Amino acid sequence: MRRSRRWCGLLLLLLCLPCLAGGAAEEGPLRGAVGDAAALATAPVRWGGGEWSMVGAAVGAVALAATFDHRLAGQWPGKDGLAEFATAYALVAPVAAIGWYGGYGGFANDARAVQTGANVAEAALFALAATEGVKVAVGRERPAGELDNHRRFHPGNFSEPRTSFPSGHTALAFATAATLQDSELPATAKVGAYGLATLTAWARMHDERHWLSDVVGGGLIGYTAGRFVACRHPLPAEHAARLMPWLAGDTVGVAWERRF
Q: Give the pLDDT of residue 253.
A: 60
Q: Give the pLDDT of residue 172.
A: 95
DSSP state of 101: H
Q: Where are the alpha helices (DSSP H) in 109-151?
A: 111-138
Ranges of beta strands (E only) in 103-250 are 241-248
Cα(74)–Cα(92) distance, integer angstroms: 26
First to last CA, the chain: 53
Cα(41)–Cα(188) distance, integer angstroms: 33
Q: Which amino acid is at 132?
A: E
Q: Give the pLDDT of residue 193.
A: 97
CA 17 to chain centroid: 16
Cα(38)–Cα(42) distance, integer angstroms: 6
Among residues 36, 239, 22, the alpha carbon closest in space to that of 114 is found at: 22
Q: Give the pLDDT of residue 28.
A: 54
H or E element at residue 258: strand 251-258
Q: Give the pLDDT of residue 20.
A: 45
Which CATH number is associated with domain 2-40+67-258? 1.20.144
DSSP state of 153: B
Q: Give the pLDDT of residue 258.
A: 55
**Sequential pLDDT tens for the chain (260 residues):** 455 555 655 665 555 555 544 444 455 555 577 888 889 889 999 999 999 999 999 999 999 999 999 999 888 877 789 999 999 999 999 999 998 998 888 888 888 998 999 999 999 999 999 999 999 999 999 997 777 888 889 999 888 888 899 999 999 999 999 999 999 899 999 999 999 999 999 999 999 999 999 999 999 999 999 999 999 999 887 644 555 555 555 555 655 555 54
Cβ contact 147:178 at 8 Å = no
Cross-strand bridge partners of residue 253: 246
Residues 216-252 pLDDT 10s: 999 999 999 999 999 999 988 764 455 555 555 555 5
Cβ contact 176:120 at 8 Å = yes
Among residues 133, 137, 147, the alpha carbon closest in space to that of 40 is found at: 133
Cα(85)–Cα(199) distance, integer angstroms: 9
The C-alpha angle with vertex 223 and arms to 45 and 116, in degrees rounded to 5, equals 105
Q: Give the pLDDT of residue 57.
A: 97
Contacts of 144 (CB under 8 A, 6+ apart): 161, 208, 209
